[in-house]
Chain A
């Protein structure tokens, strides 16, 4: 199967061509995300907003999936008398452990907030915020 067909998912066997494929040629990963017929509507004035929203909603789904999986693990551990969910609820970390966790939260937050932090940096230090074309011309003179 060529790269082109690979990327067009079901089109190898579905909407564009009516040729059947073999059952073992089903590309479940790409075909799952096949586009349906008709132009996709964008509801926000800027389609970029909608793009980001859709990615965020997909991630929100996966967070829920992880949450349910953790819940399953906790309940199984309880069933097997390994730990009680109440122990999790009442868990108090030591000062050192609490510190480590706070650190994790901060690093995590910083990763998420990177773009905002960098936009702020651009305002604070305009000298480091020249257009790259300008820098290229500058370097050309160096």
Chain B
């Protein structure tokens, strides 16, 4: 198969609040997207080869037994020169993506804030809280090596980190998430519509919505539904609300809220509760509170769904578990590893879904930039490929 080029960065949809990029800034992202594509499709697979050909055979020979767990395996992999080079490059491109993205949005931070404020004047789709307390699991780490993470406002009305997120996720994914970086949201909306054509949700809740990139496809698919998107990060919500307005989506309200205490929502308020790549950015105690809250606000007969990377189960090789842990430790998503050790059935039980109503399926990003519409082989990139595990379930209907 000929080498698959990533789409050029300019294919991203430049909506009204999108940051402005000059010639060289666009070129920088084109290079980084290509570099990431190369590293993930050419160099990353070398890790498995190095493991099979030299790391594991040497261990077996010396120890006459297999590895105890992914941590023991990891200690040896970390000494392998191919792994070292791959890991150093992966970290380096991530840091470069952040630095270059920040350079773009910070130089225009004041005008971005103005553009967003202007857009928000025309709508009433944003609710920020005074003295909101950001959950500690978010302030403790800068997720994805994004300095300041989702919550930091450099000045009043700032949206710099959100604009950086919107314009740069393309680079990390090598352009695999589509022109609005919404491949995950599109996939889940399509799946729901196809699988449950008679489901007509009135109220949908999207938890940890960020800039709402995965919320909007759901709102579009269900235009009669009232969609509520919550997040802890004010800059993300502010930018997300303005972005939704700029894109003409009118049935989403963005609210600043901690998912562990959604007291302003009534019991059984929502027909559908959704999280997309959110759970692994919570915390070990918070996640259980969140599932309890999800259970409380989901209607009987309603559904909750969670797009995540695959859980680490006994049938996942220790090698793959180790590789998937990379993002946890080295891309600053530290809860990733622990979260993927949890059994989703148990989490769902906490939200009132029993085993017989449990759903688990794989979905692939719907990418409008994929010219060839290749649905087949995607190179495994251990946590970066646009293929996900969806788990969830239906709460039993009212007896």
Given A33-B99, A36-B98, A54-B95, do A43 and B153 touch, yes or no (CB 8 Å)? no
> A64, B142: Cβ atoms under 8 Å?
no
Could you say which of A16-24, A97-105, A116-124, A133-141 contacts chain B?
Answer: A16-24
Q: What is the CA–CA distance of A69 and B24 in the complex, to the nearest angstrom?
A: 7
Give bound CA distance, A10 to B92, whole Å.
Answer: 20
Interface residues of A in 1-54 (CB under 8 A from B): 10, 13-15, 20-29, 31-38, 40-45, 50, 53-54
> Contacts A61-B28, A72-B23 hold; do A53 and B92 have CB atoms under 8 A apart?
yes
| Partner among B28, B102, B142 whose Cβ is within 8 Å of the Cβ of A37 | B142
Residues of A close to B147: CB separation below 8 A: 10, 14-15, 31, 34-37
State whether A14 and B152 are in contact (beta carbons under 8 Å apart), knowing that A28-B107, A31-B102, A37-B142 are contacts in the complex.
Answer: yes
Enumerate chain A residues within 8 angstroms of B95, measured Cβ to Cβ.
Answer: 54
CB distance from A119 to the nearest CB of B (A): 23
* Distance of A58 from chain B, by nearest CB (Å): 6
Cross-chain contact A32 with B99 (CB below 8 angstroms): yes
Distance between B179 CB and nearest chain A CB, rounded to angstroms: 21
Complex Cα gap A34–B31 (Å): 22
Kindly identify which residue among A31, A50, A57 contacts B106, using a CB–CB cutoff of 8 Å. A31
Neighbouring B residues of A21 by C-beta, 8 Å: 154-155
Whether B106 and A26, one on each chain, are in contact in the complex, defined by CB atoms closer than 8 angstroms, is yes
List, in ascending order, chain A residues with CB within 8 A of B85's CB. Answer: 43
B98 CB contacts on chain A under 8 angstroms: 36
Q: Are B110 and A23 interface neighbours, CB within 8 A?
A: yes
Q: Kindly provide the distance from the CB of B116 to the nearest chain A CB, expressed in whole angstroms.
A: 12
Q: By the criterion CB–CB under 8 Å, are B142 and A15 in contact?
A: yes
A68 within 8 A of B: yes
Q: What residues on B are CB-neighbors of A40 within 8 Å? A: 91
Whether B27 contacts A10 by the Cβ 8 Å rule is no
A110 interface residue, CB < 8 Å from B?
no
Other-chain contact of A32, B91, B103, B156, B332 (Cβ < 8 Å): B103
Residues of A within 8 A of B87 (CB): 41, 43
Tell me whether B158 is interfacial, beta carbon within 8 Å: yes
Q: Does A83 contact B (CB under 8 A)?
A: no
A19 to chain B, nearest CB (A): 10
Residue B223 interfacial (CB < 8 Å): no
Sample (6) of A-B pairs whose CB atoms are under 8 Å apart: A14-B148, A28-B103, A37-B140, A37-B142, A41-B330, A43-B78
Given contacts A23-B109, A54-B92, 9 further A-B contacts (CB under 8 A): A20-B155, A21-B154, A29-B103, A31-B106, A34-B148, A41-B329, A57-B89, A65-B27, A72-B23
- Chain B: residues with CB nearer than 8 A to chain A? 23-24, 27-28, 30-32, 35, 78, 83-85, 87-89, 91-93, 95-96, 98-100, 102-103, 106-107, 109-110, 113, 140-142, 145-148, 152-156, 158, 160, 329-330, 332, 334
